[in-house]
Structure 1
């Protein structure tokens, strides 16, 4: 273990070789329960973060991530929990979400041909070390500037806790070693709860959910396989958390879920559907999601509100490559228009049919801070950054969205299929359209777990906007409660399929 540690500190070897050494250290330290195990994970996370920063684009970083263990972050967090460290210096590193370190100077070692004079090899190594030392020195100087003391350093846990200022966040992690929930309040220390499940059972539960959705989809309300999956999710994940939440959040308040790995594919917030007379989740709390603590912190940053709300409704009923028309797109956009406050409170723009091209949608995204999409949505499992809203000519992709600054934007309703579905290849990172909008800056987003049917969408949209802005006021913080009330009203309707009652989720403030 000493030599693995030493190998991770050989600067001239280059980041990739040091990272591989750290991963071998992790593997062996875990195998033998060595007391350097947490240190090995910490080093691996730091080196992975540094190595990923050398790749040029978001999509290439995602491709590069496939070459490394997909559960590294949750395995590290699980190790920290077992060691009793859930808010110390190690956890600061473990909680990082692979922030890009722009302009990091790193080059792979030079391959010298056989016969190269030793003096030349030593000179190259010396030059490389001086280059790294110079970069480190520059960073230290930058950190002396007021306000830049944490430049290129991960946020402290005390800073991350600020994400919980409006009520607690529940981070869910699962590894082969253990599954845990971490309740993060604003001012109190975090509390960890070991869950009565494991990674294998959760993966099986995800497939049970998907199979139930596909096989039981239809107009009937009775879906026994989905009911069983929801009950298992309640017993193994949600109920242990709810039983401990009373110390941190009063009844009826907001809570935020931050799931990782397989847990992000499960309808955590909707387990109340099968609990009968018990004190279920939705009877006690209003649930939202966040892809990360930093994303929620960023979404809470205030911006000067304009006197008039600029609202764009973007609909596409016949996108490129499709032969059939979505009949309910135009009526849905008109329904939204009728339920919004009239000018001058809201300035409404509608882009639809042949006018809803990729370029016009991008312009609407840039110019309007409130959005409603009604169209086909698609999740690309192999390349999640190509997940997209389908427009008349070209897809409006997640990559297009993440390259925009949407920090002034308040709200987006995504009335499309699969807008909040993650990526199995890199489950530590939430990569889908709804999360992408929040990462880009949108404060509040409503998205979907799987396919939605036209009838359910029409009724949900009507109920949502009546609760959201029926009194003539526009406030993005009301979205979670409005969706909560709309979903509850749909649950009372006879014949409403269970999968359609639980398909919509809220992300953000």
Structure 2
């Protein structure tokens, strides 16, 4: 206790010696507040708690201090207010902190610098959205806060590439000035070897200054544009009406995971609502995410996802049985560690069951509402003009330093034949970075079959592996195809939608997002490792469906959905055969005798709403479950 008192006195002296407008003041106030909070924990004296809260509040509101120094006291306030059940004040503190996030990562900062800073706010947006609901705020306010504090890097880059056709038509000179400033910030960084006397590259300093100046001027230009008639929401987060309009093709469901509560925030064309998920627990989600691996991706996991997440949502939306006629669509936006899980595959996948997502809706994903709306901006006609459209097929059967993939050639050959039958121009470039990037600039469909690599510490270094190196997330971020809006990037490789660096999980920095950001309207990828042979079947079925759908927007998600169901049905049949061999002779569901199949007594069947014995179902990997669709 004596050491604590000494520390508090030194913190107090430091605060008193710091001028009111000094940039170090927030950090020193926060240190003093932490001291009083520790004293409260030891003594229980309310006066210490009240002093700590006031100090944290002063630090949060200290506008002269760096943004990062103000965020820490904001999180302290959120914790203290929530512990006392004061949700209104917890909401005020947390929402103030989240509103600082854009200042933490200004447009002038390079993406690596933004990544580093954003590691400091992991989970803040989700906690703030949960607290907003606890304080009685609207579902729109909770979603607004999530949009503000998640997907910051991709959101910023999307803003740089937003369609401004209307501005160009109505205010051409303003648009020209905006584009000039925007392009200065959107251009890839370039450096020289020129150095100053102490060894710091002058070119780097000069470029940093130029970016700062351009960023400041761009912010002023954006404010100027918002004062123009009809442009008051230029580059702002979507309004409630805009969100509802975005849900016209199908509901958008944000699954928010927080230590305070878990909710499904549902956007429909007729309104927004929040559905609390009482069976989802933040601690369990995090524990399962931490243990996620080939052994834990099993039917138990899919059944847990069904009970805690998918079933409550589908029941509320009225998707309670196998559809007759057109399949309904749904877009999932999972937050935090839940982004690692296959919500689209949740359910009880026993033969004849409709207690699955796959058997009720067609699922797509997005990293945020903004990203989904951006991908729909100014999109071409629903059907892609087939004649003269180019398809780039890249197959990496042999990759230096990695196992051979014997089925890659078969996948490429099948797709080549299918694309030719659709009168598409097929090109198979040399498998080096230069040729592949050049081919991307002149294609409507890009299909990669080969190895993918997920970087454990820097998601921007996750990559598709080519013959001369890696095609990284960062390099795709620098690729801008928005003037053409290519149709589809199909990434038939391991973990192309995977982020293993948990503190950046909400940024969604993976290969799927990178292709979306580059300009592709649809991206198909994977959440974890995939089977070489299953990739051939998944791709072939998807492209056949696209062919039948005349390359319409809907044909991509429909094709992948039916490909997954077909692979799932084969997996179910194979699992039944394995059970038959393992447990002795019995009858199949249709009464046919099969060696090794135990008889399934339907009269005594387990209630599908409860977990069942899955030992015999998981001896075959879930090769049908990893495939996901992002896009319109």
TM range (shorter): 0.7 to 0.9
Q: Separation in 1 of the partners of 2:73 and 2:449?
A: 48
Quote how far apart the aligned CAs of 1:441 are.
Answer: 2.4
Match of 1:503 in 2: 626
Quote how far apart the aligned CAs of 1:159 are.
Answer: 2.3
Question: Which of 22, 27, 39 is matched with 2:92 structurally?
Answer: 39
Match of 2:372 in 1: 296
Q: Deviations over 1:39-92 (max 9, x none)?
A: 1111111112211126622222112212x1311011011111222323455653
Quote how far apart the aligned CAs of 1:233 are.
Answer: 1.5
Match of 1:22 in 2: 74
Instruction: Kindly report which structure 2 residues correspond to 1:201-212, keeping only aligned pairs within 5 A, or say none.
Output: 201-207=284-290, 209-212=292-295
Q: Separation in 1 of the partners of 2:64 and 2:218?
A: 14
Tell which deviates more after alignment, 72-81 or 24-33.
24-33
Q: Is the 8 A contact 2:244 2:272 kept in 1?
A: no
Q: Work out whether 1:256 is the aligned partner of 2:328.
A: no
Structure 2 CA distance for partners of 1:25 and 1:135, relative to 1, 3 Å: farther
Q: Deviations over 1:300-333 (max 9, x none)?
A: 12137555321111122333444x4332222221
Match of 1:57 in 2: 110
Quote how far apart the aligned CAs of 1:358 are.
Answer: 0.7
Count of residue pairs the alignment pairs up: 464
Q: Is the 8 A contact 1:169 1:258 kept in 2?
A: yes
Q: Work out whether 1:376 is the aligned partner of 2:451.
A: yes
Structure 2 CA distance for partners of 1:507 and 1:94, relative to 1, 3 Å: closer
Q: Work out whether 1:428 is the aligned partner of 2:506.
A: yes
Specify the SS of the correspondent of 2:503. coil
Quote how far apart the aligned CAs of 1:337 are.
Answer: 0.7
Match of 2:394 in 1: 314
Q: Is the 8 A contact 1:80 1:91 kept in 2?
A: no
Match of 2:341 in 1: 266
Q: Work out whether 1:148 is the aligned partner of 2:223.
A: no
Structure 2 CA distance for partners of 1:464 and 1:84, relative to 1, 3 Å: same
Q: Separation in 2 of the partners of 1:475 and 1:308?
A: 16
Q: Separation in 2 of the partners of 1:283 and 1:10?
A: 53
Q: Which runs of 5+ in 2 are unaligned?
A: 1-52, 161-180, 183-215, 576-619
Q: Separation in 2 of the partners of 1:269 and 1:191?
A: 20
Match of 1:123 in 2: none
Quote how far apart the aligned CAs of 1:36 are.
Answer: 1.4
Q: Deviations over 1:215-274 (max 9, x none)?
A: xxxxxxxxxx71212111111111111211118999421111110111111111112452
Specify the SS of the correspondent of 1:176. coil
Quote how far apart the aligned CAs of 1:205 are.
Answer: 2.5
Q: Is the 8 A contact 1:233 1:271 kept in 2?
A: yes
Structure 2 CA distance for partners of 1:239 and 1:89, relative to 1, 3 Å: closer
Q: Separation in 2 of the partners of 1:11 and 1:365?
A: 45
Q: Separation in 2 of the partners of 1:40 and 1:137?
A: 28
Q: Is the 8 A contact 1:202 1:263 kept in 2?
A: yes
Structure 2 CA distance for partners of 1:20 and 1:393, relative to 1, 3 Å: same
Q: Separation in 2 of the partners of 1:272 and 1:90?
A: 28
Q: Separation in 2 of the partners of 1:249 and 1:437?
A: 34
Question: Which of 404, 413, 421 is matched with 1:334 structurally?
Answer: 413
Question: Which of 452, 471, 481 is matched with 1:406 structurally?
Answer: 481
Q: Separation in 2 of the partners of 1:368 and 1:17?
A: 46
Specify the SS of the correspondent of 1:340. helix
Tell which deviates more after alignment, 482-491 or 17-26.
17-26
Q: Work out whether 1:464 is the aligned partner of 2:567.
A: no
Q: Is the 8 A contact 1:339 1:470 kept in 2?
A: no
CA-based RMSD of the aligned residues comes to: 2.9
Match of 2:305 in 1: 233
Q: Work out whether 1:455 is the aligned partner of 2:533.
A: yes
Specify the SS of the correspondent of 2:505. coil
Structure 2 CA distance for partners of 1:375 and 1:90, relative to 1, 3 Å: closer
Q: Deviations over 1:373-398 (max 9, x none)?
A: 01110111200000000011120001
Q: Separation in 2 of the partners of 1:311 and 1:62?
A: 33
Q: Work out whether 1:489 is the aligned partner of 2:572.
A: no
Specify the SS of the correspondent of 1:274. coil
Q: Separation in 1 of the partners of 2:218 and 2:562?
A: 54
Q: Separation in 2 of the partners of 1:55 and 1:22?
A: 25
Tell which deviates more after alignment, 253-262 or 424-433.
424-433
Match of 2:40 in 1: none
Q: Work out whether 1:164 is the aligned partner of 2:247.
A: yes
- The TM-score normalised by the length of structure 1 is 0.83
Question: Which of 397, 419, 422 is matched with 2:472 structurally?
Answer: 397
Q: Separation in 1 of the partners of 2:486 and 2:222?
A: 33
Specify the SS of the correspondent of 1:445. strand
Higher RCO, 1 vs 2 (CA within 8 Å, ≥6 residues apart): 1
Q: Separation in 1 of the partners of 2:140 and 2:342?
A: 31
Q: Separation in 1 of the partners of 2:251 and 2:132?
A: 21
Match of 1:365 in 2: 440
Q: Is the 8 A contact 2:277 2:309 kept in 1?
A: no
Q: Separation in 2 of the partners of 1:450 and 1:488?
A: 18
Q: Separation in 2 of the partners of 1:391 and 1:412?
A: 16
Q: Separation in 1 of the partners of 2:222 and 2:292?
A: 48
Quote how far apart the aligned CAs of 1:470 are.
Answer: 4.1
